[in-house]
Amino acid sequence: MWLLRRKGPSGFSSSSTAEEVTDGIDGTGLTAIVTGASSGIGSETARVLALRGVHVIMGVRNLEAGRNVKETIVNENPSAKIDTMELDLSSMASVRKFASDYQSSGFPLNILINNAGIMATPFGLSKDNIEQQFATNHLGHFLLTDLLLENMKKTAVESEKEGRIVNVSSEAHRYTYPEGIQFDGINDESRYNKMQAYGQSKLSNILHANELTRRFKEEGVNITANSLHPGIITTNLFRHFNYGNGLANTVGKLIFKNVQQGAATTCYVALHPQVKGVSGEYFMNSNLHKPTQHGQDVDLAKKLWDFTTNLIK
């Protein structure tokens, strides 16, 4: 059971669940993509959005696992609108194929939830020869967002409804490299620290949302972009820690959120009326929270944008 139950200004707390923060919200007519939706908070996010009437497209690396989650959701909620599409965020070719297939489907896009991620993995390079955590957690989502932006802009205009981009970051962004983003050593194995590299990728999620916000405001686009910390959750992200499983089993019920609580802030930022018009913010426990100075650095966000843009060319 989660220990901290004090409600914030939103009326919700760290113990609130995704169902609780979306209670009474009608998402009928909205279409959302949730990446990494075949397990953990991604699958719970997909389930609750579908429960609220949203048409959910699950972007999953493992189609069989995705179909199993879809079947479970539909068995519980026969009216759920769920589709699964293959998506490997560590591969730019896979991201481009997903975006192309999505455009061909004719689906609109109101909500993009960049949720998928890996944590503290041993050093490795993606299929595009980019450090794996940076490639999966940031670069893949940056490219996906870029490729789907025109669809989101069109949908926002035609539906007259605000589009929302939600980047699932982490409080681990506080434990990145000293300079924030190691631009000159993304692929340098000799300087690699698996937790700092994870923090770097999560800081990148925040900066990505912040720079999107700046650009949307300049363009006058009816789309918001925010980032969030879902909480410490007992999911398979801990598999790369020697102590992870033991820790989760021993004290998990006391200090970790369950999946229902872990998906709450994502669903809150994606659907709740309180978040209408709010952009470039960082949330925790379904309330506004302050990121680090790096996470508020406008110049760092611009530099990351340019750096990432060059990588996806």
State how far the Cα of 212 lies from the Cα of 220, in Å rounded to an integer.
Answer: 12
- Go through the domains of the chain in sequence order and give each one's CATH number: 3-308 (3.40.50.720)
What letter represents residue 67's amino acid?
R
Q: Please identify which of the residues 175, 192, 198, 282 carries the catalytic annotation.
A: 192
**Of all residues in the chain, what percent are helix, strand and coil, respectively (each to 5)?**
50, 15, 35
| Cα–Cα distance, 243 to 201 (Å, whole number) | 22
DSSP 8-state secondary structure symbol assigned to residue 138: I
Give the model's pLDDT for residue 4. 53
Work out the average pLDDT over 1-25. Answer: 88
Q: Is 282 known to be catalytic?
A: no
Report phi then psi at 34, rounded to 5: -125, 115
Q: How far is CA 108 from CA 153, 154, 163, 291, in A?
A: 10, 8, 11, 32
Beta bridge partners of 46: none
Using one digit for the tens of pLDDT, what is the confidence trace for 212-262?
A: 999 999 999 999 999 999 999 965 544 444 544 444 444 444 468 999 999
How far apart CA 227 and CA 280 sit, in angstroms, is: 8
pLDDT digits (tens, 9 = 90+) for 132-160: 999 999 999 999 999 999 999 999 999 99
Query: Per the structure block, which two tokens stand in for 176?
Result: 């990145």
Q: Residue 212: what residue type? A: L
pTM of the model: 0.94
Residue 105 CB neighbour total at 10 angstroms: 11
What is the pLDDT, as a whole number, of residue 164? 99
Q: Is residue 2 pLDDT above 60, yes or no?
A: no
Checking if the pLDDT of 277 tops 60, the result is yes
Residue 121 DSSP code: P
Helix, coil or strand: residue 256: coil
Please compute, for residue 227, the number of CA atoms within 13 A of its CA located in the half-sphere on the CB side: 28
Tens digit of pLDDT for each residue in 70-125? Answer: 999 999 999 999 999 999 999 999 999 999 999 999 999 999 999 999 999 999 99
pLDDT at position 117 is: 97
In whole angstroms, give the CA distance from residue 264 to residue 52.
Answer: 13
Asked if residues 50 and 58 have their Cβ atoms less than 8 Å apart, the reply is no
Per-residue pLDDT tens over the stretch 39-68: 999 999 999 999 999 999 999 999 999 999
Question: Using CA atoms, how far apart are residues 145 and 196, in angstroms rounded to an integer?
Answer: 24
Nearest in space to 29 (alpha carbons), one of 158, 216, 165, 220: 158
| Per-residue model confidence (pLDDT) at position 17 | 98
